[in-house]
């Protein structure tokens, strides 16, 4: 056996599994399964299958997920840098599928880093509604924000907060909540041997305390009639069926929705907690366990919790709360969205959640928000107002000259940075905000510089200039490495009689990857240093 498993863990699993124990242990002699999930925000499923550089085999529980051969390196292909797929462990794709996300919903991914499940939720929203994605670790939110940006998500807010603080700002707000709970990680021992080594210090008992609090707070953020999916990557019944039993005792207005048991999914085991729990809550057999000896994936537990109530009641509460909630100090400046002409108005196609959320407020304090600057008194407010006006002017000019689109949501000016947010500003008042929305760009002394996240979330048709590079040509990799390219003017696709000189949206096989600046046959590379191709 390649993995050195903790002795106490092995003894417990032998006691629980009985006749299945030998098959379970034999699974640790097998290599882990590799998977990718197609990012349908950027490419339709059939289109990806037609151009896939990998051999694909469908993952039964995820319609956009595929097994790829073990040893394949999907991160070493230009399509990865274009955000066409996310590299994800196959079992980890299952919780979001059971969340049953629909367009125009408000969804919270509460323990989100590094962001795989958030990008999966975003693909299901297809740019509508709002996704709030959070992690309590400031360091881990760096990867979370980067993945949200790489995969072209336009309607996400990234937070670095405790669940209690989020609950204060979003009572009864979300239609769906995903809790991929911090856990002892037993299901990942085969994939990550370090988790087996850390098991005794990262104990079941410590995890249970965190999980209990997270579930309690999540219930207060769910709208009436909403759904919570609770998942772990551990086998410990205390963290799984035991935790759900506690939750149901405290929240009788929730019920367990049985998980379909096809594709190798096994039922829950409330008797592993105690006979009393099994007798009181037979519905816990409707939870699901993914075992490495039964599915081609690692170990997982999933419970689907449905609130038995009317969503309309929650909607009325949200409207009343928005009308009554006091506004914070003016650290964020908020205006309405921009159209192609540079006019400020509500964009066509704004989600019903934005309409429900009310008009933009005068601003919000975003504690811990990157790039924070503060001034005191009237002088500071006047200076901030002048700066915001100048930034907006350069932004309007860029939109009018460079883009063929309208922005939905709310335009947030923070210092010299501009974001498009799916939420009005007072929703974020007092929270640690990593990204209030889609990062559009930066004003540099009256000149607007578009961001990389803007580029990768655009479609080629939304820019007045674009250049297509081929993934089969070294030119694409040279671009991803940050090199200057020689590009003749004939290769630039121009719209509306635009001149070739200026910002150009760079595409790889027709899918957006970043910016360049073209002049006199040379393409200056605008691909950011921290995102560049670093492999040989």
26 labelled binding-site residue = no
Distance CA 484, CA 493 (A): 19
95 labelled binding-site residue = no
Closest by CA position to 207, among listed 188, 184, 229:
184
Q: Residue 276 in contact with residue 258, Cβ under 8 Å? A: no
Closest by CA position to 453, among listed 534, 507, 513:
513
Task: Output the CA torsion sign for 241, 247, 250, 252.
Answer: negative
Does residue 155 have a cis bond before it (omega within 30 degrees)? no
Q: Residue 231 in contact with residue 300, Cβ under 8 Å? A: yes
114 labelled binding-site residue = yes
Residue 483: exposure state from Cβ atoms within 10 A (0-12, 13-18, ≥19): middle
Instruction: Please calculate the CA angle 211-100-354 and round it to the nearest 5 degrees.
Output: 90
Closest by CA position to 366, among listed 417, 418, 435, 421:
435
Which three-class secondary structure state does DSSP give residue 238?
A: helix
Question: How many other β-carbons are positioned within 10 Å of the β-carbon of residue 65?
Answer: 25
Structure tokens at 314: 């929650």
112 labelled binding-site residue = yes
Q: What share of the chain is helix, strand, coil (3-state, %, to 5)?
A: 35, 25, 40
117 labelled binding-site residue = yes
387 labelled binding-site residue = no
507 labelled binding-site residue = no
Structure tokens at 170: 């979003």
Which three-class secondary structure state does DSSP give residue 177?
A: strand
> Is 183 an active-site residue?
no
| CB contact set of 20 (below 8 Å; sequence gap of 6+) | 291, 293
Task: Render 340-375 in DSSP notation, one character per residue.
Answer: TTS-BSPPTT--HHHHHH-S--S----TT-TT----
What distances in angstroms separate CA 273 from CA 210, 280, 490, one per listed residue? 18, 12, 69
What distances in angstroms separate CA 240 from CA 79, 181, 247, one per listed residue? 37, 10, 11
Please report, in angstroms and rounded to a whole number, the separation of the first and last CA atoms in the chain. Answer: 33
Q: Please tell me which residue in 62, 183, 207, 233 is annotated as part of the active site.
A: 233
Q: Residue 54 in contact with residue 71, Cβ under 8 Å? A: no
Structure tokens at 182: 């911090």
Which residues are tagged catalytic? 233
Which segments are annotated as binding site for S-adenosyl-L-methionine? 111-117, 135, 180
Q: Please enumerate, by residue number, every residue annotated as part of a binding site.
A: 111-117, 135, 180
């Amino acid at each position: 056996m390649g993995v050195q498993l903790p002795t106490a863990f092995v003894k417990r699993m032998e006691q629980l599994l009985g006749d299945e124990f030998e098959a379970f242990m034999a699974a640790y002699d097998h290599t882990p399964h590799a998977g990718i999930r197609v990012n349908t925000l950027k490419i339709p499923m059939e289109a990806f299958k037609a151009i896939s550089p990998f051999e694909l085999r469908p993952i039964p529980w995820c319609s956009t997920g595929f097994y790829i051969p073990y040893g394949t390196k999907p991160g070493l292909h230009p399509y990865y840098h274009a955000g066409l797929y996310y590299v994800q462990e196959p079992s980890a794709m299952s919780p979001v599928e059971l969340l049953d996300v629909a367009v125009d919903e408000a969804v919270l991914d509460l323990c989100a880093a590094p962001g795989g499940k958030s990008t999966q939720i975003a693909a299901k929203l297809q740019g509508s509604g709002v996704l709030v994605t959070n992690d309590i670790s400031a360091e881990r939110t760096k990867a979370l924000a980067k993945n949200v940006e790489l995969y072209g998500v336009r309607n996400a807010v990234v937070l670095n907060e405790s669940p209690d603080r989020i609950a204060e700002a979003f009572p009864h707000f979300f239609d769906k909540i995903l809790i991929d709970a911090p856990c002892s990680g037993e299901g990942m021992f085969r994939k990550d041997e370090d988790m087996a080594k850390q098991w005794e210090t990262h104990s079941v008992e410590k995890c249970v305390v965190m999980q209990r609090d997270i579930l309690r707070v999540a219930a207060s953020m769910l709208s009436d009639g909403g759904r919570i999916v609770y998942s772990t990557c551990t086998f410990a019944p205390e963290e799984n069926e035991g935790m759900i039993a506690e939750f149901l005792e405290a929240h009788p207005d929730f019920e367990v929705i049985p998980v379909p048991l096809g594709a190798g999914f096994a039922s829950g085991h409330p008797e592993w907690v105690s006979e009393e729990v099994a007798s009181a809550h037979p519905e816990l057999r409707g939870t699901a366990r993914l075992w490495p000896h039964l599915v081609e994936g690692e170990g997982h537990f999933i419970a689907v919790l449905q609130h038995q109530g009317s969503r309309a009641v929650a909607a009325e509460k949200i409207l009343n709360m928005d009308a009554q909630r006091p506004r914070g100090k003016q650290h964020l400046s908020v205006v309405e969205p921009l159209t192609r002409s540079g006019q400020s108005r509500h964009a066509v196609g704004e989600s019903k959640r934005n309409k429900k959320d009310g008009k933009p407020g005068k601003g919000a304090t975003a504690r811990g928000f990157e790039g924070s600057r503060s001034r005191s008194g009237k002088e500071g407010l006047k200076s901030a107002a002048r700066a915001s006006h100048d930034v907006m002017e350069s932004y309007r000019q860029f939109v009018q000259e460079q883009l063929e689109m309208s922005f939905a949501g709310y335009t947030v000016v923070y210092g010299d940075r501009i974001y498009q947010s799916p939420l009005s500003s007072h929703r974020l008042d007092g929270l640690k905000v990593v990204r209030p929305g889609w990062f559009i760009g930066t004003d540099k002394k009256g000149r607007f510089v578009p961001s990389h996240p803007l580029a990768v979330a655009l479609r080629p048709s939304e820019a007045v200039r674009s250049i297509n590079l081929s993934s089969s040509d070294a030119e694409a990799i040279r671009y991803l490495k940050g090199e200057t390219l020689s590009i003749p003017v004939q290769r630039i696709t121009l719209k509306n009689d635009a001149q070739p000189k200026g910002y150009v949206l760079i595409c790889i096989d027709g899918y957006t990857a970043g910016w360049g600046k073209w002049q006199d046959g040379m393409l200056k590379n605008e691909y950011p240093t921290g995102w560049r191709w670093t492999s040989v």
